[in-house]
């Protein structure tokens, strides 16, 4: 773990309302290393979702990043937040004025990152999918947007592939169960690396026997494209997806359009199908043409996931992906996420209010309360010895699987109003161990290997006793 994939530092998000600014997020910092699953856990309104949206730079209307820095994979997502907006205060009312040009620039920049390098899975698969678009359309949208070159490669290298070669490659691959990488270089030697993925997908299908697989692979060579399309695609490849001037008009005229775009749409659809079967979508073929309302909650969430991995992102943000699902379906989805993570080696930011789910899937966890991260630790460490009174309180408040306690230890009181949060530590109003010092801003203390806590109790490293 040399350089973390994502680095959030001193993030401050305010929500502007008529009467004032709500400190939804105050000084949040954490890192996500490549290949790890980082969990954010906390109660409603603690700002975990807002943190996620901030990373996407999609803070909802009225929300602004007032301070802090978000670094993703070396590039800074919060370059000049200072210029993105101004707060106009007059006669007790606050108004937010955004800088249009700045916003435009931001969106164009983020457009290259959203969905391609960072993708997102939302809680409500029903409302998060467009009810008027078929699942296939919604997935291929992403593929076309971010992987156009891959599509073109596939079409072209399939076009100049030859059945015999494919056949022997497939037979070889199947006989000696090659890995993805091996297959890739195999394909490269044959000069059809574009096809590697497709072949890989075919030989990993469960529903057909090996001879059919080989057949299917060699059949790929049958699917040729017209010369016009080929010319178009080759030029398109040179221009990295920018439609050259001479085609710009033609590729808009309805019928004529298909001569150029048809092949791409077809391929995107094929890829979408592969993605759907990758997420174990039952009868994926038909689902392609179905609409969200025709699917069950679990299937919708699978479609969501397929969409999120479409561009093979480095980081997947899962915002309560299973909270709307039933226990058995939740188990399926968690399982799926685990597998995909292995397959793609992506990092995951997993947001949940449910400690149990976090415990199932995360490597490291940050506990959030009222806009702060109050404790960050390795999963096992956190559960073994939680330090922050809030973390302790939460863990004590969950009825454990098969514990015999009659009464649960509840945290007294309720979450503070973030319009005027309590002085110093925001938990001090509910904290059983609060003392005078807690009215000052608490420090970050390291209380063990990779275990940080935001609390005065541990000022000198170990639990200080009154």
Partner 1 sequence: MKLSQYVARRLVILIPTFLGLTLIVFSVTHVGGPQRLLGEYINPHSTVPADVQQQQLSARFHLNDPLVIQYFYWLVAFVQGDWGYTQTSIYSGRVTDAIALFFPNTLVLAILASILSVLIAIPLGVMSAVRKDSVVDEVTRVISFAGYSVPIYWLALLLIIAFASSSVCGCLNIFPKTGIVDIVLVGSIDWYRSGISYPTHVLLIDSLLHGSFDIFVDTVMHLILPVITLTYGIMAGILRVVRSSMLDTLNEDYIRTARAKGLSEKEVVNVHARRNALIPVLTVVGYLVAYLLSGVVLVETVFNYLGIGYWTTQALLGGDVGGVMGATVIFGLVYIFSNLVVDILYATVDPRIRY
Partner 2 sequence: MESPSSVMGLAIVVAYAAIAMIDFTYPQLIGVENAYSMIPDYVNTVPQPPAWPTHPFGTTFPGIDLYQAIMAAIRVDLWYSFLIVLVGAIIGITLGVLAAYFGGYIDELLMRFADIFLSIPYLPFAIAVGFILGRELSDVSIALILVWWPLYARYARGQALSVKESAFVEAAKASGVGSWRIMIRHVVPNVLTPIFVQVSLDLGTVVQIFAALTFIGFASANALLPELGALISRGFQYAVTAPWVVFFPGMAILVFAIGMNLLGDGLRDALDPKYRTRRR
Partner 3 sequence: MVKTMSSSEREILLAGVGLKKHFPVMKGKWTRRAKHVHAVDGVDIFVRKGEVVGLVGESGCGKTTLGRLVLALLEPTEGALFFDAPENGTRRYAEIRGDIDRNPPRNKGDRRFLEAHSFEREFSVFRFGRKKRRHFRRNTHIVFQDPNSSLDPRMLIKEIIAEPLKAYHYGSRKEIQQRVLSLLSQCGLGPEFMDRLPHELSGGQRQRVAIARALAMSPKFIVLDEPTSALDVSVQAQILNLLKQLRCDFDLSFLFISHHLVVVRHMADRIVVMYAGQIVESGESEQVFSHPLHPYTVALLSAVPIADPNAHRERILLPGEIPDLINPPGGCRFHPRCQYAFEFCGWSAQEALEPFTTVLTSGRYPELGRLSKIVRPSIMDSYNFEIVVDGKISDNDVQAIYGAIRKETEEGVRSLSAVEEIRIQPSDEGSTLAVKLHHYIDPKLINVEGHWVKCHLYNENGIKLTSQSQTSLHGKHET
407 contacts which partner out of partner 2, partner 1, partner 3, none, CB within 5 to 8 A by kind? partner 3
Question: Which pairing describes strands 315-319 and 118-121: parallel, antiparallel, or unpaired?
Answer: parallel
Residues of this chain that interact with partner 3 (CB under 8 A) are 43-44, 207-212, 282, 296-299, 326-332, 334-335, 353-357, 359-360, 379-380, 383, 393-402, 406-412, 414-415
Shortest reach from residue 95's CB to partner 2, in Å: 13
From the list 136, 148, 159, the residue with the least C-alpha distance to 229 is: 159
Q: With CB cut-offs between 5 and 8 Å by kind, which of partner 3, partner 1, partner 2, none does residue 111 bind? A: partner 1
Binding mask 70-109 for partner 1 (x = CB under 8 A): -------------------------------------xx-
Chain residues binding partner 2 by CB under 8 A are 15, 17-18, 22, 24, 44-45, 49, 62
Please name the residues in contact with 34: beta carbons below 8 A apart, sequence gap of 6 or more.
1, 4, 5, 314, 345, 347
Q: Is the dihedral of CA 88, 94, 99, 105 positive or negative?
A: positive
Give just the sign of the alpha carbon dihedral 186, 187, 193, 195: negative
Q: Which one of partner 2, partner 1, partner 3, none interacts with residue 49, CB within 5 to 8 A by kind?
A: partner 2
Q: How far is the CB of 51 from partner 1 (least distance, A)?
A: 15
Binds partner 1 (CB under 8 A): choice among 216, 307, 346, 365: 307
Interface of this chain with partner 1, residues 113 to 142, rule: CB under 8 A: 113-116, 119-120, 122, 124, 127-133, 141-142
- Pairing verdict, β 75-76 and 93-98: unpaired
150 binds partner 1 (CB under 8 A): no
Binder among 58, 249, 343, 409 for partner 1 (CB under 8 A): 58
Among 415, 143, 156, smallest CA distance to 275 is for 143
How far from 327 is each of 184, 298, 307, 330, 394, CA to CA, in Å? Answer: 39, 11, 23, 5, 21
| DSSP E strands, 77-126 | 85-90, 93-98, 118-121
> Judged by CB under 8 A, does residue 6 bind partner 1?
no
Shortest spacing between CB 48 and partner 3, in angstroms: 12
State yes or no: residue 265 binds partner 1 (CB under 8 A): no
Q: Is the CB of residue 129 less than 8 Å from the CB of residue 180?
A: no
Rounded least distance, CB 7 to partner 1, Å = 20
- Regarding beta strands 118-121 and 93-98, do their DSSP bridges make them parallel or antiparallel, or are they unpaired? unpaired
Residue among 297 and 448 whose Cβ is closer to partner 1:
297
* Closest to 117 (Cα-Cα) out of 154, 151, 142: 142
The residue whose two tokens read 């080989």 is 214
């Amino acid at each position: 773990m040399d350089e973390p994939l994502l680095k959030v530092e001193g993030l401050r998000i305010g929500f502007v309302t008529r009467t004032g600014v709500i400190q939804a997020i105050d000084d949040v910092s954490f890192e996500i290393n490549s290949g790890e699953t980082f969990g954010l856990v906390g109660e409603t309104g603690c700002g975990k979702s807002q943190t996620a949206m901030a990373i996407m730079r999609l803070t909802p209307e009225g929300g602004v990043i007032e301070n802090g820095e978000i670094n993703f994979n070396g590039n800074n997502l919060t370059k000049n937040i200072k210029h993105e907006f101004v707060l106009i205060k007059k006669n007790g009312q606050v108004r937010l004025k955004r800088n249009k040009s700045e916003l435009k620039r931001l969106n164009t920049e983020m457009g290259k990152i959203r969905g391609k390098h960072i993708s997102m899975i939302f809680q409500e698969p029903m409302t998060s999918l467009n009810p008027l678009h078929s699942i296939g359309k919604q997935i291929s949208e992403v593929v076309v947007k971010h992987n156009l070159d891959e599509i073109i490669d596939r079409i072209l290298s399939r076009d100049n592939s030859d059945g015999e070669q494919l056949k022997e490659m497939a037979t070889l691959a199947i006989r000696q169960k090659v890995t993805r990488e091996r297959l890739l270089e195999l394909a490269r030697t044959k000069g059809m690396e574009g096809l590697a993925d497709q072949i890989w997908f075919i030989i990993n299908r469960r529903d057909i026997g090996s001879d059919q697989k080989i057949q299917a692979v060699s059949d790929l060579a049958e699917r040729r494209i017209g010369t016009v399309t080929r010319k178009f695609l080759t030029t398109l490849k040179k221009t990295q997806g920018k439609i050259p001037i001479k085609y710009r008009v033609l590729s808009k005229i309805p019928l004529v359009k298909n001569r150029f775009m048809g092949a791409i749409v077809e391929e995107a659809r094929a890829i979408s199908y592969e993605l759907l079967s990758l997420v174990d979508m039952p009868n994926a073929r038909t689902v392609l043409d179905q609409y969200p309302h025709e699917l069950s909650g679990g299937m919708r969430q699978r479609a969501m996931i397929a969409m999120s991995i479409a561009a093979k992102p480095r980081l997947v943000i899962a915002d309560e992906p299973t909270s709307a699902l039933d226990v058995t379906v939740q188990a399926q989805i968690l399982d799926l996420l685990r597998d995909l993570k292995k397959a793609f080696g992506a990092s995951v930011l997993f947001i949940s209010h449910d400690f149990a789910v976090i415990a199932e899937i995360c490597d490291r966890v940050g506990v959030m309360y009222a806009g702060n991260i109050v404790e960050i630790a390795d999963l096992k460490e956190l559960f073994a010895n939680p330090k922050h009174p809030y973390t302790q309180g939460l863990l004590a408040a969950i009825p454990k699987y098969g514990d015999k306690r009659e009464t649960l230890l509840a945290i007294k009181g309720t979450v503070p109003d973030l319009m005027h949060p309590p002085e110093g530590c925001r938990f001090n109003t509910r904290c059983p161990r609060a003392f005078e010092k807690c009215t000052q801003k608490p420090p970050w203390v390291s209380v063990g290997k990779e275990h940080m806590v935001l609390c005065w109790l541990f000022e000198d490293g170990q639990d200080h006793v009154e």
